[in-house]
Amino acid sequence: MSLIEVRNLKKYFKVPTGINHAVDDVSFTIEKGETLGVVGESGCGKSTLGRTIIHLQEPTDGKVFLDGEDITRVKGKDLSRIRDKMQIVFQDPYSSLNPRIRIESTIQEPLKHSGRFHGKAEIREEAERLMELVGIDERLRQSYPHELDGGRRQRVGIARALALNPDFIVCDEPVSALDVSIQAQVLNLLMDLQEQMGMAYMFVTHDLSVVRHISNHICVMYLGQLVEKAPTEELFSNTLHPYTKALLSAIPSTDIFHPMDRVKLKGEITSPIDPEPGCRFAARCPYAAESCRQPQELQEVEKGHFVSCCRVNEIN
C-alpha cells in the first residue's frame, strides 16, 4: 500500500475572467521512504498541488489517501490528526517564520500544541534534540529569524516540520531562495533525515538538476496537468514528452565538447483559465497536429513510464 495516493485531484480558483484550472486531474502515488519530484515552470500548479494534498487548500474534486485512509474531506479533530502526519517546508524561510518569536520558541510551538509532552522541561529537551538534528548551533537558539542567514532559517523550518515526527513532508522549493553552496547542504540534510526517519517527500522545484539528485520518481507538470511521469534515471535517459525535452535542454552544462542542443519553444502559452479540451502544450509544441486538439491522457508507454501525448510513438 502506498503512503500517499492522489486520484484525479483538481483545484480550481474562481477569477474575474473565469475558472483557473490550477491543478487539473492529477494522479500519482508516493511510497514510504521515497521522494517524488514535481517539476515545471513557475505557475504550472506544482505548489498548489502540494498545498492541496496537505489541506492548506481544499480540493475542488478528486481523492487523496494517506496510508489507505481517505483524507479528502476530513475536518476538525481528524484534520488535526492527519496534519501531525503531513507537514510542509516552505520556499521562503524568512516569511514562513514569525519575526517576533525566537528560534527555540518557534520549534517548541508545535510540541506544546501536540499534547504529547508533559511539562516545559520535556518540551525544551525535545526542541534541543530537533535543533541538534538539523544542525542549529546552540549559540543561535535564542536568536530571531532576521539574525540568521537563509540556510540557517531553512534549517529552522525543517526542524519545525519534523517536530511531530511526520510520515510525509511537502518540500515546496526549499532551496530555490538559497545560495548554491547552501543548497547542497540543505539537500544533503533532507536526504540524511529521510534515511534516518523513513519519511516520504514530495519535492517541488523548477530545477531539474536538484530534483535528479534527490528524487526516486519525477512528475513533470504543465499548466495544471501531468505530462510525463517516470523513475528519475528513466526520465533523464529516455525523455519522451516534447515539453520535458525542452526542460532538460535548458539545464546548464559544463561539457564544452558535447553541448546539448537547446530546444527553443515558440508560440503563446495557453491560458489556464477555462482552457479548451486537448493538449495544453500544443500551441508551443513543434510536433502539434490536429489530433492534439483531443483530450490527452497519461498512458504507460513503457514499464513505469507514463506520457500524456497522442503522438509519443511517432516523434520518438
pLDDT in tens, 147-171: 998 899 999 999 999 999 999 999 9
CB 239, CB 248: distance < 8 Å: yes
Q: Which residue has the cell 508545535?
A: 110
Kindly tell me if the per-residue pLDDT of 252 is higher than 80: no
Kindly tell me the sign of the dihedral angle through the C-alpha atoms of 161, 173, 285, 302.
negative
Side-chain half-sphere exposure of 159, counting CA atoms within 13 A: 28
The per-residue pLDDT for 261 is 74
What's the rounded mean pLDDT across residues 281-309? 91
Q: Which regions of 206-298 does DSSP assign to beta strands (E)?
A: 217-222, 225-231
**pLDDT tens for each residue of 186-244:** 999 999 999 999 999 999 998 888 888 899 999 999 999 999 999 999 999 999 999 99
Q: In whole angstroms, what is the distance from residue 186 CA to residue 165 CA?
A: 19
At 11, the pLDDT band (50, 70, 90 cuts) reads very high
What's the rounded mean pLDDT across residues 113-129? 89
The per-residue pLDDT for 9 is 97
Q: In whole angstroms, what is the distance from residue 171 CA to residue 194 CA?
A: 12
Percentage above 70 pLDDT, the chain: 98
Q: In whole angstroms, what is the distance from residue 309 CA to residue 312 CA?
A: 5
The per-residue pLDDT for 260 is 66
Q: In whole angstroms, what is the distance from residue 275 CA to residue 19 CA?
A: 9
Q: In whole angstroms, what is the distance from residue 137 CA to residue 45 CA?
A: 36
